[in-house]
Chains A and B, each alone.
Chain A
Amino acid sequence: MFSLETLQQTLSALGSTVWITLMLTLGAGIVSLIAGSISVSAQLGGGWVGLFASRAYVSVMRGTPLLVQLLVLSYGLPLLGIRVPPILAAILAIGLNSGAYTTEILRGGVLAIAPGQIEAAKMVGLSRFAIWRRVVLPQAMANSLPMLVAEFSIILKSTPLASIISVTEMTYAGVLIQARSFSSLDVFLPIAAAYVAIFYAFTMLAVWLDRQLAPMRG
């Protein structure tokens, strides 16, 4: 049932939706890193209030399905009078969900830093904030890089969920073609290849980053 026509339609749909998938993935990745950094900072240096808030955030995000979070965020916010474009709602929902896992990944990275370094930083007179921002967090990220790459791949593979709030990304574009052509392989093989290509490109970036960060690793 392989048809050149279906393949052409798929490639053209990929051309227009690969940007949506990239935007969702990079956007959610950035939200995840920011949310994870803030949350791990609160957990390890924010007193009991910070600890509680961070734990609550991680529990809520890890304890509910991403699908539910997506629906709550995109249909709950308008009820509060906040209107956001669907793609932004999807980026926020996927990013905040992933941020909970990033919190735990970064926590591992922070705990791996030798305590002597922090003592040394105190000795040279750095403030608590400066120690956190210049000594602890960068090394935590460097330590956690392999886990963060894995988390990024999960973000990439979560993006098709955005189709339930009217964001047509690569997978749903394929579903639309499949529904009229009744063929699957010539639609979803190119789409699978596009996901692999995105992930591979990101892995290459991570390898490069890993080399840059190597001297920082504690």
Chain B
Amino acid sequence: MVHLKKSKVAFLSALVVSLGITSQASADALDTVLANKKLVVAIDPTFAPFEFTDASGKIVGYDPEIIEKVAEKLGVEVEYSVMAFSGIIPGLIAGAFDVTPTLNVTAERAQKIDYVMPTAASMNAVMIVSGNGVASSSIDDLSGKTCAVKQTTQPEQMMMAMNDELVKAGKAPVELIGFETIEQTVAALVDGRAACVVDDKSVLVQAVAARTDAKLEVVGDIGGTQWIGWGVNKANPKLTEALSAAVKELVADGTVSQLQTKYFGYTVELPTADFIPAQ
């Protein structure tokens, strides 16, 4: 009984503490990382090509490759803590590990955690069959055309929002036809049911490479860019700064754009400051 009450007290105080305090007032994690020669990285490797596992279970991908190069620069080893995504940000805030890669940079998250300079961007693009009459990826050129999208995805929602704008401006909306998979949208484009496909750019680049028989072409980007970066606990500004500096060096010497070509099939210019969206 006494034991139970003790553990209950511990449990309740843990609840109170975890609600009230986000991290301990201790030294910057950079000191610990350098002293232990170990960078603890939380990762949910289920998001190819950013972070995934190979057949032997080893963690691979775009961000792990950059992280390992960054660790090399700092003279430390990478230790992965593999976990499902829903545990990652709470764990980061509780100080259970040093850094986590591949987070969308959002204003909401930026209030809770700090971001290392972005390593990638997610953006949507428009794919067509060359010479099928779609001049560019600008929304005015798509007005009145039929586009294939995957149902309930972010690109579909973005196109719906753009349609509202078109209608408000008195123009014809883009007619959207929804499918379950990217293969089905490509099939609709190839047999002429759709004039374009709107999806994540890296996905479209892969489709172009896979269907060399069909004269597919990514005609341009559409909508805004969302940055993807690594998260660090707000208590460790020195660690964030050191990681950003190392990423910056890897951008400068061309390593990052090389990796972008390797994993995404295209390169993207990365910002070093002011990358947190306002809203």
Contacts from A to B (Cβ < 8 Å): 5, 9, 13, 35, 38-39, 41-42, 46, 50, 53, 56-57, 60, 67, 71-80, 82, 96, 163-168, 172, 175-180
Contact = CB atoms under 8 A, between A and B. Distances in A.
Interface string B79-92: 00111101100110
Interface in B30-56: 42, 45-48, 52-55
A77 to B, nearest CB: 6
A75 B91 contact: yes
B237 interface: no
A187 B155 CA distance: 29
Given A80-B13, A165-B91, A179-B46, A46 B1 contact: yes
Contacts of B14: 72-73, 76-77, 79-80
Contacts of A38: 1, 3-4
Contacts of A96: 7, 11
Nearest to B15: A72
Interface of B: 1, 3-5, 7-8, 10-15, 17-18, 21, 24, 42, 45-48, 52-55, 57, 81-84, 86-87, 90-91, 93-96
A81 to B, nearest CB: 9
Nearest to B54: A180
Contacts of B82: 166, 168, 176
B18 A176 contact: no
A168 B12 CA distance: 27
Nearest to A77: B14
A85 to B, nearest CB: 12
12 contacts: A38-B1, A53-B5, A60-B12, A75-B18, A78-B94, A78-B96, A79-B14, A79-B17, A163-B87, A166-B81, A166-B82, A179-B53
Given A79-B18, A164-B86, A180-B48, A57 B57 contact: no
A164 B57 contact: no
B155 to A, nearest CB: 19
Nearest to B47: A179
B89 to A, nearest CB: 10
Given A165-B91, A180-B52, A35 B4 contact: yes
Contact of A78 (B3, B4, B42, B95): B95
A142 to B, nearest CB: 23
Contact of B55 (A9, A164, A175): A9
